[in-house]
Structure 1
Amino acid sequence: MANTILTHQMIAREAAKMLEEEAPFIANINKGRQEEFGKDVQGYQKGDTVKIKIPTAGRVYNGSVFAEGGGATDVVEESVNLTLDTQKHVALQFGAKEKALNLTDFKDRILRPQMQTLSSVVEADLIARGVLGTPNQVAMSLSGTNPSNALALGRAKLNQYLAPAGDRSVILSSAANVALSGEVSRMYNPTQTSSKAYLQGYVATAFGADLYEHQSVAVFNNGTAAGITVSGANQTGKTVVLSAATAGTLTQGTIFTIAGVNAVHPLTGQDLGVLQQFVVTATATVGTNTAVSIYPGLNATAPNKTTSALPA
C-alpha cells in the first residue's frame, strides 16, 4: 500500500535496519556499552566516554601461611576508555516528489545506495581501527594446500588468551574466501545455519565462528625502520625503548616479538612456550633510544603478569 507521505522517522527506521543488513562487521561487534553513553549518574551526565575495567589476575600462594609469610600483593586494577570520537553521515535531501513515493520504491531507488555507501566507509574505518589495536596474528597461505589452518590457529590464539567462545565472527577478504571455498564447503553443515545468515556477505560457519566475505579488509604496511634492537634490559610497562640500525618509522599496528620474552597464561602466568606478540600503539620515528608505545605492557611478575621475562 502506498504511503500518503514519507516521514523522517519512517526513513530513519528503515535506514537503521538496512545499515545493519549491509554491514556484517557492525552487526557482530559487541555493543554492550552503548546504553551507558549519555546516561545520568546521580545528576551528572557520563558524556561521550565510558570506562571499561580490565579483569584483574591475582597471585596465588602455596600453603596455609598467609602470603607464604610475606606481604600480600596489591590488586592492580586497569581500565581503558571507550570514546565516541567519530561521526559519519550521508546528506540525504528529498522533496515532495520523493516523499510521495511508495516506501519500497524509496528504499530501493534512493535509500539503499546511500546506506551501502555509508556502511562501506564506516566498516572500513572500524576494521582498520581494530587491526591497529590487536597484538596477535597468525599466518594464512592463500596458495597453500591448507589455508583453513589459519582459522584453526586463530581460534587457538583466541582460546589461549581466554577470549569468550560465543558469538565469534571472521571477516574474510575475497581472496581468502576463494582460497577457503573448497574446505569450508565440506565443513559447512546447513542444519547449523547461523541466525545472522541474512547479513550481507555471510559465507558459512566453521571453527566456531560465522564467516563473512568483506571488501574492506585493508592491506597493512610496515614502516621503514630496520635492524631494531632493545635499548636497555629489564624494561617494564607499556613503553619500550628501541634503537634501529636503519632509522625510520615504526607504524601504529605493527606487530613484533622480542627474543626470550614469551607469552603467559592470563590467569596462571605459566609460560606458553611461544613468543609474546606486541603491537605498536602509536607511530614513532625510531633512531637511537626511542620510546615506543606498545600493547600489552611488559610485566613478568604477578599480578597481571603478561610476559615470561623482561627484555634482555
Structure 2
Amino acid sequence: MRTRRASARSVPASTRVNQDVEEGSTSIKIDQRKHVSWNFSTQDLTLSIEEYSKRYIAPAMLTLAQTVDSYGSGLYKKIWNRVGTPSTTPSSYASLGAVAQRMTEMAVPRNERRAALTSEAFHKIAGTLTTLNMPKQAADAWASGEIGNIAGFNTHESANIRSHQVGTKACTPLVNGGNQNTAYSASMKTGVQTLSLKGFTASSAGVLREGDVFTIAGVFAVNPVPGEGSTGKTVLPYLQQFVVRQALVNSDASGNATVTIAPAIITSGPYQTVSSAPADSAAISVVGAANQVNSQKLCFHKHALALVTVPLEMPDGCAWKAQESHDGPSIRIVKDYDINSDAEIVRVAVLFGWEAIYPDLAVRLDG
C-alpha cells in the first residue's frame, strides 16, 4: 500500500495545514506452486540410503530456493530506472556508484540497499578490490571473491539474473498526441497508464517488449520529495525513464501503437513524476539496440520487492507431514508409502508470489 506524499508547510510556522490522504494498493498474486518429489524402494532405504536429509532434503530445498529466486529476478520488467551501458559488464566501483547516485536522486533510503549481480559482474568488481590498500577488503576479495558492502549496497552473487531482449524499435517512434498525462487518483491502483505512439513501421510485430525502457524528449525526471507549498518538485537534469508493462507491442497498419507504461505521467501534486506532459511528436528513445539481449542486474531497497508465501494445507491421508517457516517463506514436506511398488514417496512444495510493490525504490544495472 502506498500513501500520498504530503509537502511540508512552514508559513506561518504555527498554523496547522490539513492535507488530503490518498491510498493506492498493490495486489500480489499467490499463483506459483512448485515442488520437488522423489521416491525410494524400501530395499534402497534399508541397504544404501544414508544421511537422508543432507543428501536429499537439502538439495530439494536448494532447488526450490533457486526457483523462487528466479521468479523474483523476473520483476526487472516492472522497474523503470536503469543505469549502465548495454552489452557491457559492470566491473568497478563506478558501476554501483552510478546506481547509488540514481537511488539518492530518487530519495531511496540509504540503509538496506541490496545488489544482485551476475557472477561475471560480481567477480570483476571483486577483482578491482584486490588492488586497494584496504587489507580486509582486499583479503576477502582474494580469498573468497567477496565484495561485501560497496557503494552502500549489500552485494550478492546470483545465478538467476534474467536477460532482457529489446524490441525491434522498427523505424522512429514518436508520441502520438500531446497532453497524455494522468492524475494520481486515476493510476494509484495500478501505477500504469497507456501512451499513444506513432512512427513505427506499419504492421510490425514486437516493436516494443515488456521490460523495455525508454525516455521521451522534453520530459524530465523530478525529485520525488515534494517541494514547499505549490512550488512543485525540483526538476532533475536528465529525462524520466519509463518501462513497457505489456507483453508485446505491435504497430497497426498506420504505424501507430498504444503501450502500457510505468510510471504514470503525473505533472503536478505530491505524486508528480515528470517535469511536464510529452508534446505531440516528441521523440521516443529506447535503451539498447534493436533486439539486443542484456542481463538485468537488480539493485533495490528491501521494501521495493515483496515475496509472499502461503502455508499449504496439510493433507489428512499421508503417513507423515511437516511444514516449516523461516524468515517468512513456508515450505511443506509430506511422505507416504506406495504399497504397490513398495516405495516411500516424498514431496516438498512451496506456494508463493512476487511483486514489485515499490518499483521506484529499485534500479536495473545494465550490462
Task: Give the TM-score normalised by the residue count of structure 1.
Answer: 0.68
In 1, Cα distance between the equivalents of 2:154 and 2:50?
30
Equivalent in 171, 182, 185 of residue 116 of structure 2: 171
Mapped partners of 2:88, 2:244: distance in 1: 29
The CA deviation at 1:124 is 1.5
Q: Confirm whether residue 243 of structure 1 aligns to residue 188 of structure 2.
A: no
**Between structures 1 and 2, the one with greater helix share:** 1
Indicate conservation of the 8 Å contact 1:141/1:147, yes or no: no
Other-structure match for 2:344: none
1:178 positional shift: 3.0
Shift of the 145–82 alpha-carbon distance from structure 1 to 2, 3 Å rule, reads closer
Cα offset, 1:61, TM superposition: 7.1
The 3 A distance-change label for structure 1 pair 100 and 145 is closer
| Identity rate, percent | 27
Greater RCO between the two (CA within 8 Å, min separation 6)?
2
Task: Tell me the SS of whatever aligns to 1:298.
Answer: coil
1:273 maps to: 237
Determine helix, strand or coil for the equivalent of 1:292: strand
> Using the alignment, how far apart are the partners of 1:114 and 1:145 within structure 2?
33
Match of 1:220 in 2: 164
Query: Which AA in structure 2 matches 1:272?
Result: L
What amino acid does structure 1 have at the position aligned with 2:257? T
Q: Residue 286 in 1 paired to residue 244 in 2?
A: no
1:220 is matched by which residue type in structure 2?
A: H
Residue 148 of structure 1: how far off its partner (Å)? 2.4
SS at match of 2:104: helix
Inter-CA distance 232–293: structure 2 relative to 1 (3 Å threshold): same
Residue of structure 1 aligned with 2:150, choices 206, 231, 241: 206
Letter in 1 for 2:96: L
Unaligned runs of 5+ in 1: 1-52, 65-71, 192-199
Work out which of the residue numbers 190, 196, 212 in structure 2 matches 1:254: 212
Opposite residue 124 of structure 1, the aligned amino acid is S
Contact 1:280 1:295 in 2 (8 A): yes
Q: 1:146 to 1:215 in 2, by over 3 A?
A: closer
Is residue 140–residue 147 contact of structure 1 (8 Å, CA) maintained in 2?
no
Decide whether the 8 Å contact of 2:123 with 2:145 is kept in 1. Answer: no
TM-fit CA distance, 1:55: 2.8
TM-score calculated relative to the size of structure 2:
0.59
Partner residue, 1:295: 262
Equivalent-residue separation in structure 1 for 2:88 and 2:194 (angstroms): 37
Aligned-partner residue type, residue 241 of structure 1: S
Name the CA shift for 1:266/1:217 in 2 (closer, same or farther; >3 Å): same
Superimposed CA distance per residue, residues 234-291 of structure 1 (whole angstroms, 9 cap, x where no aligned partner): 1013211112422332111111110111111112221011111111111222344422
- 1:118 is aligned with what amino acid? L
Using the alignment, how far apart are the partners of 1:308 and 1:219 within structure 2? Answer: 31
* Aligned twin of 1:22: none
Q: Could you say what secondary structure the match of 2:27 adopts?
A: strand
Partner AA of 2:194 in structure 1: T
Q: Quick one: distance in 1 between partners of 2:234 and 2:155?
A: 32
Alignment-derived partner of residue 48 in structure 1: none
Q: Aligned residue for 2:94? A: 149
Q: Distance in 2 between matches of 1:208 and 1:104?
A: 45
- Bigger drift between 211-220 and 301-310 goes to 211-220
Q: 1:4 is matched with which residue?
A: none
Output the CA distance in 1 between the equivalents of 2:155 and 2:92: 14
The equivalent of 1:6 in structure 2 is: none
What is the distance in 2 between the residues matched to 1:180 and 1:152? 12
Identify unmatched segments of 5+ residues in structure 2: 13-17, 138-143, 183-192, 227-232, 280-367
- Structure 1 residues 304, 104: closer, same or farther in 2, change over 3 A? farther
Q: What secondary structure does 1:159 align onto?
A: helix
The one-letter code matched in structure 2 to 1:271 is V
1:232 aligns with: 177
35, 38, 57: which one aligns with 1:89? 35
What is the CA distance between 1:95 and its match in structure 2?
5.6
1:166–1:60 CA distance, 2 compared to 1 (3 A)? closer
Cα distance change of structure 1 residues 145 and 270 upon mapping to structure 2, 3 Å threshold: closer
- After superposition, the CA RMSD in angstroms is 3.5
What SS does the corresponding residue of 2:36 show, helix, strand or coil?
coil
Task: Tell me the matched-pair count.
Answer: 249
Q: Are the counterparts in 2 of residues 73 and 303 from structure 1 also a CA contact under 8 Å?
A: no
